[in-house]
Structure 1
Amino acid sequence: MTAGDWRRRLRRIARIARWELSQTTTSYNRRTLVIAFVIMAVVGGVGGAALSLGVASPAPNTDIYRIGVADDSRYTEVIETSNSLVAREADRRGLRTGEIDLLIEEVRQPTAPPDEPQPVPTLIVDRADSDKGNAALTAFRSAIQRYNNRLMAAEQNSSAAYPVIVQLRYQPQSTLGAAALGETEDTGDTTSDGTDGAETNGVDDGGGTDSAETNGIDDRGETDGTDNGRGDGTGDTTGGSGDATDGDGTDDSTGDDTASSEQSTPAVDGTGDSLLGIDLFGGGGTSGSPAEISPPFPFSSLLLAFIFLVPMNFIIQAYGSSILNERISRRGELLLVAPVERLDIVAGKTLPYVAVAVAVTAAIAFGIGGSLFSVFAVIPIALTFLAATFVGAMFARSFKELTFVTVTITVFLTSYIFIPSIFTNVTPIALISPLTLVVMELQGEAVGLGSYVFSTAPFYLSSGVLFLLGTGVYREEDMFSQKRVPLKFLDALDARLSGLRSVGVLTALFVPFVFVFELLGVAVLFILPISISIPAILVVVAVVEEIAKSIHIYAGFENDTFDRSIATALRLGAASGVGFFVAEKFTIVAQAVGLPGLELGRAALQPAGVTPSTGTLLLLGPLVLHIVTTGISALGARRNLRQYVATLLAAVAIHVAYNFGVVQLYG
Structure 2
Amino acid sequence: MEWDKLLRVARWEVTKNAGGLDRRTVAVMALSLIAMGGVAAIAVGGGGAGLDDGLYRVGADDASPFYDVAAADGTFVVRDPDPAAVERGEQELLFRGTRLVSVPRTPKERAALDEFRSSTERYNDRTLARDDNQTAAFPVSVTLVYREQAGADVLDPREDGGAAGSDSDSDDGASGGGTGDGGGSDGGASAGGSGGSLGEAGGGGASLSGLGARLTGEVQGGTPSDISPPFPFESLVLAFLYIVPMNFVIQAYGSSMLSERLNRRGELLLVTPASRADIIAGKTLPYLLGAVGVATAITATLRFGGLAPGGSPIAVLAVVPLALLFLAATFCGAMFARSFKELTFVTVTITVSLTSYAFVPAIFTDITPIALISPLTLVVMDLTGQAISPSAFAFSTLPPLVTALVLFGLGAGLYREEDMFTQRPIPLKVLDALSGRIRSRRSAAKMSVVLLPFVVVAELVAIAFLFVLDSVSLNVFGTNQTLGVLLILGVVAVVEEVAKSLHVYAGYDAARYERTVRSALGLGALSGLGFFLAEKGLLIARLSDLESLSIGQAALQGATPPAGVPLWAVALLFLLAPLVLHTVTAALSAVGATRGRTGYLAGLGAAVVVHFAYNLTVVTSLV
Query: Shared fold (TM-score greater than 0.5)?
Result: yes
Q: Are 1:327 and 1:480, in contact at CA under 8 Å, matched by a contact in 2?
A: yes
Q: Choose from 542, 546, 555 the match for 2:493.
A: 542
Q: Choose from 215, 218, 231 the match for 1:266.
A: 218
Q: Are 2:139 and 2:179, in contact at CA under 8 Å, matched by a contact in 1?
A: no
Give the Cα–Cα distance (whole angstroms) in 2 for the partners of residues 58 and 308 of structure 1: 24
1:328 aligns with 2:262: yes
Give the Cα–Cα distance (whole angstroms) in 1 for the partners of residues 592 and 542 of structure 2: 36
Give the Cα–Cα distance (whole angstroms) in 2 for the partners of residues 448 and 488 of structure 1: 41
Give the Cα–Cα distance (whole angstroms) in 2 for the partners of residues 187 and 500 of structure 1: 59
Residue 628 of structure 1 aligns with which residue? 584
Give the Cα–Cα distance (whole angstroms) in 2 for the partners of residues 408 and 618 of structure 1: 37
Q: Choose from 35, 45, 50 the match for 2:28.
A: 35
Q: Choose from 371, 390, 393 the match for 1:452.
A: 393
Give the Cα–Cα distance (whole angstroms) in 1 for the partners of residues 574 and 289 of structure 2: 44
CA change 1:465–1:187 in 2 (3 A) is farther
Task: Look up the SS of the partner of 1:500 in the other structure.
Answer: coil
Q: Are 1:602 and 1:611, in contact at CA under 8 Å, matched by a contact in 2?
A: no
CA change 1:653–1:612 in 2 (3 A) is same
CA change 1:263–1:97 in 2 (3 A) is farther
Give the Cα–Cα distance (whole angstroms) in 2 for the partners of residues 387 and 414 of structure 1: 14
**Residue identity in the other structure for 1:469:** L
1:147 aligns with 2:142: yes
Give the Cα–Cα distance (whole angstroms) in 2 for the partners of residues 650 and 53 of structure 1: 53
Q: Which has the larger displacement, 579-588 or 610-619?
A: 610-619
Deviation track 1:278-301 (CA, whole Å, cap 9, x = no partner) reads xxxxxxxxxxxxxxxx97333223
Give the Cα–Cα distance (whole angstroms) in 2 for the partners of residues 200 and 303 of structure 1: 31
Q: Choose from 159, 162, 165 the match for 1:192.
A: 162
Q: CA deviation at 1:544?
A: 0.5
Give the Cα–Cα distance (whole angstroms) in 1 for the partners of residues 182 and 558 of structure 2: 49
Q: CA deviation at 1:130?
A: 7.9
Residue 5 of structure 2 aligns with which residue? 12
Give the Cα–Cα distance (whole angstroms) in 2 for the partners of residues 430 and 188 of structure 1: 27
Give the Cα–Cα distance (whole angstroms) in 2 for the partners of residues 449 and 94 of structure 1: 63
Q: Are 1:557 and 1:564, in contact at CA under 8 Å, matched by a contact in 2?
A: yes
Q: Are 2:143 and 2:220, in contact at CA under 8 Å, matched by a contact in 1?
A: no
Residue 238 of structure 2 aligns with which residue? 304
Q: CA deviation at 1:533?
A: 1.2
Q: CA deviation at 1:638?
A: 1.5
Q: CA deviation at 1:520?
A: 1.2
Aligned-pair identity in percent equals 48
Give the Cα–Cα distance (whole angstroms) in 1 for the partners of residues 181 and 612 of structure 2: 55
**Residue identity in the other structure for 1:147:** V
Deviation track 1:237-275 (CA, whole Å, cap 9, x = no partner) reads xxxxxxxxxxxxxxxxxxxxxxxx999742479xxxxxx
Superposition RMSD in Å:
3.9
Q: CA deviation at 1:191?
A: 4.8
CA change 1:439–1:647 in 2 (3 A) is same
**Residue identity in the other structure for 2:233:** F
1:657 aligns with 2:613: yes
Q: Which has the larger displacement, 489-498 or 35-44?
A: 35-44
Give the Cα–Cα distance (whole angstroms) in 2 for the partners of residues 423 and 182 of structure 1: 12
Give the Cα–Cα distance (whole angstroms) in 1 for the partners of residues 368 and 320 of structure 2: 24
Give the Cα–Cα distance (whole angstroms) in 2 for the partners of residues 58 and 380 of structure 1: 37
Q: Are 1:295 and 1:426, in contact at CA under 8 Å, matched by a contact in 2?
A: no
Give the Cα–Cα distance (whole angstroms) in 2 for the partners of residues 206 and 492 of structure 1: 72
**Residue identity in the other structure for 1:309:** I
Give the Cα–Cα distance (whole angstroms) in 2 for the partners of residues 188 and 348 of structure 1: 59
1:554 aligns with 2:524: no
Give the Cα–Cα distance (whole angstroms) in 1 for the partners of residues 274 and 229 of structure 2: 53
Q: Which has the larger displacement, 643-652 or 618-627?
A: 618-627
Residue 358 of structure 2 aligns with which residue? 417
Task: Look up the SS of the partner of 1:25 in the other structure.
Answer: coil
Residue 17 of structure 2 aligns with which residue? 24
Q: Are 1:148 and 1:195, in contact at CA under 8 Å, matched by a contact in 2?
A: no
CA change 1:30–1:131 in 2 (3 A) is closer
Q: How does 1:231-310 map to 2 (within 5 A)?
A: 265-267=217-219, 296-310=230-244
CA change 1:41–1:472 in 2 (3 A) is same
CA change 1:43–1:619 in 2 (3 A) is same
Q: Are 2:217 and 2:230, in contact at CA under 8 Å, matched by a contact in 1?
A: no
Q: Are 1:146 and 1:262, in contact at CA under 8 Å, matched by a contact in 2?
A: no
Residue 462 of structure 2 aligns with which residue? 521
Q: How does 1:67-466 map to 2 (within 5 A)?
A: 147=142, 149-150=144-145, 189-193=159-163, 194-196=166-168, 200-202=178-180, 265-267=217-219, 296-369=230-303, 370-466=311-407
**Residue identity in the other structure for 1:21:** V
Q: Are 1:394 and 1:479, in contact at CA under 8 Å, matched by a contact in 2?
A: yes
Task: Look up the SS of the partner of 2:555 in the other structure.
Answer: helix
Give the Cα–Cα distance (whole angstroms) in 2 for the partners of residues 467 and 524 of structure 1: 26
Q: Are 2:434 and 2:503, in contact at CA under 8 Å, matched by a contact in 1?
A: yes
Q: CA deviation at 1:96?
A: 7.1
Q: Are 1:507 and 1:548, in contact at CA under 8 Å, matched by a contact in 2?
A: yes
Q: CA deviation at 1:205?
A: 11
Q: Choose from 477, 487, 499 the match for 2:418.
A: 477
Residue 574 of structure 1 aligns with which residue? 525
Give the Cα–Cα distance (whole angstroms) in 2 for the partners of residues 649 and 590 of structure 1: 27
CA change 1:327–1:131 in 2 (3 A) is closer
Q: Are 1:576 and 1:627, in contact at CA under 8 Å, matched by a contact in 2?
A: yes
CA change 1:204–1:309 in 2 (3 A) is farther
Give the Cα–Cα distance (whole angstroms) in 1 for the partners of residues 562 and 140 of structure 2: 37
Runs of 5+ unmatched residues, structure 1:
1-5, 61-92, 99-128, 154-178, 208-220, 222-260, 270-293
CA change 1:199–1:624 in 2 (3 A) is closer
Q: Are 1:51 and 1:368, in contact at CA under 8 Å, matched by a contact in 2?
A: no
Q: Which has the larger displacement, 354-363 or 552-561?
A: 354-363
Q: CA deviation at 1:427?
A: 4.3
Give the Cα–Cα distance (whole angstroms) in 1 for the partners of residues 541 and 183 of structure 2: 41
CA change 1:487–1:579 in 2 (3 A) is same
Give the Cα–Cα distance (whole angstroms) in 2 for the partners of residues 538 and 203 of structure 1: 56
**Residue identity in the other structure for 2:503:** H
CA change 1:395–1:497 in 2 (3 A) is same
**Residue identity in the other structure for 2:521:** L
Give the Cα–Cα distance (whole angstroms) in 2 for the partners of residues 189 and 205 of structure 1: 31
Q: CA deviation at 1:540?
A: 0.6
Give the Cα–Cα distance (whole angstroms) in 2 for the partners of residues 452 and 539 of structure 1: 29
**Residue identity in the other structure for 1:23:** K
Q: CA deviation at 1:546?
A: 0.3
Deviation track 1:616-664 (CA, whole Å, cap 9, x = no partner) reads 3123221111011001110001220101100111000000000001101
Give the Cα–Cα distance (whole angstroms) in 1 for the partners of residues 355 and 411 of structure 2: 22
CA change 1:406–1:611 in 2 (3 A) is farther
Q: Are 1:587 and 1:610, in contact at CA under 8 Å, matched by a contact in 2?
A: no
Give the Cα–Cα distance (whole angstroms) in 1 for the partners of residues 506 and 183 of structure 2: 67
Q: CA deviation at 1:526?
A: 1.2
Q: Are 1:264 and 1:426, in contact at CA under 8 Å, matched by a contact in 2?
A: no
Residue 666 of structure 1 aligns with which residue? 622
What is the TM-score normalised by the length of structure 2? 0.71
Residue 247 of structure 1 aligns with which residue? none
Q: CA deviation at 1:570?
A: 1.3
Task: Look up the SS of the partner of 2:557 in the other structure.
Answer: helix
Q: Are 1:514 and 1:548, in contact at CA under 8 Å, matched by a contact in 2?
A: yes
Give the Cα–Cα distance (whole angstroms) in 2 for the partners of residues 94 and 589 of structure 1: 67
Q: Are 1:569 and 1:631, in contact at CA under 8 Å, matched by a contact in 2?
A: yes
Deviation track 1:409-435 (CA, whole Å, cap 9, x = no partner) reads 000000011011011123421111111
Q: Are 1:503 and 1:552, in contact at CA under 8 Å, matched by a contact in 2?
A: yes
**Residue identity in the other structure for 1:365:** T
Q: Are 1:596 and 1:611, in contact at CA under 8 Å, matched by a contact in 2?
A: no
Runs of 5+ unmatched residues, structure 2:
52-95, 102-112, 126-137, 170-175, 186-190, 192-212, 222-227, 304-310, 474-481
Task: Look up the SS of the partner of 1:147 in the other structure.
Answer: strand
Q: CA deviation at 1:521?
A: 1.1
Q: CA deviation at 1:579?
A: 1.3
Q: CA deviation at 1:399?
A: 0.2
